[in-house]
Amino acid sequence: MLTRKQLELLELIDTRMKRDGVPPSFDEMKDALNLRSKSGIHRLITALEERGFIRRLAHRARAIEVVRMPEALEGRHVARVIEGGARPAAPAPARARPVQTVDALELPLMGRIAAGTPIEAISEVSHHVAVPGSMLSGRGDHYALEVKGDSMIEAGIHDGDIVVIREQTTADNGDIVVALVEGHEATLKRFRRMRGMIALEAANPAYETRMLRDDQVQVQGRLVGLIRSY
């Protein structure tokens, strides 16, 4: 199921690929869909990629491949588009702001972070994600990571969520941090100092707290936001 904007963008990319052999630029997409910012285009492209309609190719500028069109799933019938039906629109909340006017920044998505058994340290950017500017905490660099595992589920962090991390090398007790363990394992856990050791606590009783020496743990950043797709 695609939204109208997602379908419009997919058809635009497919038409331009067939005509020119390359997809339109982000600026061209923005203008064609009458959006105010390229962050909106990025969100649409990410949604199409997650649904398997397009594929972004690494290390190539403007490299988007159309994998399939909705007709491939439902004969020659276009996939159902979410339009909200014919019912009158509900009044907007008093403080609501149009999505296009909300400031957003693109952050590098550095790959996956383990909320479970630690995985190898992450150092390469896989792609970028649009993040509301209000989510970014203070000064400093920020990046995003995709969560793998369920060890932080009781802190509201689920498998597949995108966490927004502020780069820093220190943490206070209770902070949820990206921790580099023994120089090669990266994990997302709650940080505490206990009895001269560092405790990396899960938020799931199925996982034990890891007690490590100070020289075994490097704080890589602190959790400042979370993005979830439904």
Written as one string, the DSSP assignment of 106-151 is EEEEEEEEESSS-EEPP-S--EEEEEEGGGS-SSS-EEEEEEESST
Q: How far apart are CA 163 and CA 85, in angstroms?
A: 33
Identify whether 30 is a catalytic site residue: no
Written as one string, the DSSP assignment of 146-203 is EEESSTTGGGT--TT-EEEEEE-S---TT-EEEEEETTTEEEEEEEEEETTEEEEE-S
**Choosing from 18, 126, 151, 229, which is the catalytic residue?**
151
**Choosing from 25, 123, 189, 229, which is the catalytic residue?**
189
Identify whether 189 is a catalytic site residue: yes
At 62, list the tokens: 């403007």
What are the catalytic residues? 151, 189
